[in-house]
């Protein structure tokens, strides 16, 4: 199981492009490819996928964390080169948005509760803060779990609680945008902490957890 950041505010290697937004590519043990979020600029997303050695036509699943443009904007360009995908979205997305995606993709799957979306990959379901719905993903291998977050607008408290209730494995890491999440003591004991994109407290996380902290950017690869 491998997770590669393919869109972020920072690029870690020459030849990769950075822009405001987030996307990660998950490669399963069976070789399947799933995309979590699409950044806002589809041409940049496709450039980074190619530069990192991934063929967009081989991606079978796309999951969108929430409806903000910097996580959804690249989807149209992606679907123009590969419409043969299932797109998993929070069920609270507007009917207009779900319809627009359905017109370009093979299928739209609405997520409200924990849902298996690929081998070794689970959506934790929908979480809400105010009028915003967001889903988080879990990558799993041999009982170890890596939580993927788009922006974590609802925080990490409820996703962590749901994860404990599911009892599907042991959480070893978090990667993705953490926005204004500040209950940083909840990260204690993790082996991998890779705060990306919109995270406001990167420096404090790095100071508190220097051994687990991973500088995030396009090209970061994490393995389970």
Which pLDDT tens digit goes with each residue over 166-198?
Answer: 988 999 999 999 999 999 999 999 999 999 999
Q: Which of the four CATH numbers 3.90.400.10, 1.10.3720.10, 3.40.50.1100, 3.60.15.10 does domain 2-223 have? A: 3.60.15.10
Is 44 within 8 Å of 74 (Cβ atoms)? Answer: yes
pLDDT in tens, 85-108: 999 999 999 999 999 999 999 999
CB atoms within 10 A of CB 134: 26
Please give the pLDDT value at position 204: 97
Residue 50's pLDDT band (boundaries 50, 70, 90)? very high
Mean pLDDT across the stretch 44-58?
98
Q: Are strands 33-36 and 59-63 parallel, antiparallel or unpaired?
A: parallel
Mean pLDDT across the stretch 4-30?
97
214 half-sphere exposure, CB direction, 13 A CA radius: 23
Is 40 within 8 Å of 74 (Cβ atoms)? Answer: yes
Mean pLDDT across the stretch 107-125?
96
């Amino acid at each position: 199981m491998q997770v590669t950041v393919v869109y972020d505010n920072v690029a870690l290697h020459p030849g990769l492009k950075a822009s405001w937004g987030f996307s990660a590519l998950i490669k399963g043990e069976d070789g399947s490819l799933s995309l979590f979020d699409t950044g806002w600029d589809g041409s940049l997303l496709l450039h980074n996928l190619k530069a990192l050695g991934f063929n967009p036509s081989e991606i079978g699943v796309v999951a969108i964390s929430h409806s903000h443009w910097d996580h959804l904007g690249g989807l149209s360009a992606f679907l123009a080169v590969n419409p043969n995908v299932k797109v998993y979205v929070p069920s609270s997305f507007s009917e207009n948005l779900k319809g627009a995606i359905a017109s370009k993709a093979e299928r739209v799957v609405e997520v409200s509760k924990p849902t298996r979306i690929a081998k070794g990959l689970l959506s934790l379901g929908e979480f809400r803060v105010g009028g915003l719905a967001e889903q988080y993903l879990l990558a799993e291998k041999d009982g170890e779990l890596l939580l993927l977050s788009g922006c974590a607008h609802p925080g990490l408290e409820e996703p962590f609680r749901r994860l404990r209730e599911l009892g599907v494995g042991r959480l070893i890491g978090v990667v993705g945008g953490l926005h204004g999440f500040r209950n940083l003591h909840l990260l204690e004991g993790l082996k991998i902490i890779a705060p990306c994109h919109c995270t406001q407290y990167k420096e404090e996380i790095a100071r508190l957890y220097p051994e687990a902290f991973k500088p995030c950017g396009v090209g970061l690869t994490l393995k389970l």
